[in-house]
Amino acid sequence: MGHNPMRLLLVEDDRAIGQGIRVALNTEGYTLDWLEDGLSALHALRSEPFDLLLLDLGLPRMDGFDLLRQLRAEELALPVLILTARDGTADRIAGLDAGADDYLIKPFDVDELKARVRA
């Protein structure tokens, strides 16, 4: 019973979406850190342990694809779930090829997000 909650890093520059995700996942008992740009996320991931990265692709200062490639190049191993409005097959393939573990298209159902985080 004394286990630590999963620590998640959300990288999302849309405040409305970020706030909705924060509320949904905090109510599930997760610890959620939220950053709004890729470069800040890279610094956080280099210095702090996270169990899962929830990553938007269209970010300021370093986009999601570049962040993902940098994480994999530095062998920073953690599961990555891409959250994006880019629903084209080529984007999904590019995200998975860059090292993402899963891909969720916005707008998404919060219950589906919770299920994918649990998985």
> What kind of fold does domain 9-118 have according to CATH?
Rossmann fold (3.40.50)
Token output for 9 = 């890093």
Amino acid 1: pLDDT? 44
Using pLDDT thresholds of 50, 70 and 90, give the confidence band for residue 3. Answer: low
**Is 101 a residue whose pLDDT tops 50?**
yes
> What does the pLDDT average to over 8-15?
97
Strands 31-35 and 7-11: parallel
What pLDDT, in 10s, does the model give residues 20-48? Answer: 999 999 999 999 999 999 999 999 999 99
Helices (H) and strands (E) in the chain, counts: 5, 5
The average confidence (pLDDT) of the chain is: 92
Nearest Cα neighbor of 41 from 9, 13, 73 is 9
